[in-house]
């Protein structure tokens, strides 16, 4: 039979071996668990980064679509709202120009004789006398100048000194 103290020592040694083996096994299991957790964490980070990249790509796509739609809507609005108003303003401006041209024509027509008289007075001051045979030609030329002036903003009447005498005579009659 074995000595009870020896049995106890053997059992204590076995217990210590079991405890040491359990500690070693526990450390291996913890190391394996930490490694598994680390791998799981890395996998989750990769999935998270992939999900973020996918969401970012989707966000960019949506932003592009929204920008294109906004641009298209703006063009439609310009053509639908602003263009008719602009065309209306252009039409009003054209009507105003036509009315101004009509009024200018009336003013020139209403004051034609006065302008001829003024031209003759100016001519009389510049040149003293005009040949009588050229009288009708000079008067007709001055009248034509006034008719042409209707279509212009400014008017310059140039008369040859000899023709000026005829205009002066026309003024006197």
Dist. CA 21–CA 117, nearest whole Å: 135
Query: pLDDT (tens digit, 9 = 90+) per residue, 129-157?
Result: 544 445 666 667 677 766 666 666 666 66
Q: Are residues 118 and 162 in the same domain?
A: yes
| Cβ neighbours of residue 126 closer than 8 Å, sequence gap 6 or more | 161, 164
Domain boundary among 74, 102, 130: 102
Residues spanned by the domain of 116: 111-172
Residue-level length of the chain: 173
Work out the angle between the directed axes of helices 135-149 and 112-126 (0-180°, nearest 10).
Answer: 130
- Asked if 166 contacts 139 with a C-beta cutoff of 8 angstroms, the reply is yes
Q: Could you say which of 102, 131, 163 is where a domain stops?
A: 102
Render pLDDT for 8-19 as a digit per residue (tens, 0 to 9).
888 999 999 999
pTM: 0.36
The continuous run of DSSP H or E covering 2 comes out as none
**How many structural domains comprise the chain?**
2
Q: Is the pLDDT of residue 93 over 70?
A: yes
Q: Are residues 4 and 66 in the same domain?
A: yes
Q: 3-class SS at 64?
A: helix
Residue 128 DSSP SS3: coil
- Based on the domain organization, do 95 and 148 belong to the same domain? no
Distance CA 124, CA 143 (A): 17
> Helices 112-126 & 161-172, crossing angle to 10 degrees?
130
């Amino acid at each position: 039979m074995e000595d009870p103290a020896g049995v106890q020592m053997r059992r204590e040694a076995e217990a210590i071996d079991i405890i040491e083996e359990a500690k070693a096994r526990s450390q291996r299991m913890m190391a394996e668990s930490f490694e598994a957790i680390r791998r799981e964490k890395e996998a989750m980070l990769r999935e998270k980064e992939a999900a973020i990249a996918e969401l970012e790509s989707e966000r960019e796509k949506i932003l592009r679509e929204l920008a294109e739609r906004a641009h298209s809507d703006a063009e439609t609005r310009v053509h639908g709202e602003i263009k008719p108003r602009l065309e209306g303003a252009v039409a009003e401006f054209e009507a105003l120009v036509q009315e101004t041209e009509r009024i200018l024509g009336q003013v020139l027509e209403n004051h034609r004789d006065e302008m001829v008289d003024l031209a003759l007075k100016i001519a009389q001051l510049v040149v003293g006398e005009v040949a009588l045979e050229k009288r009708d030609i000079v008067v007709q030329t001055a009248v034509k100048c006034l008719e042409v002036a209707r279509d212009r903003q400014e008017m310059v009447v140039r008369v040859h000194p000899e023709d000026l005498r005829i205009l002066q005579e026309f003024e006197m009659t």
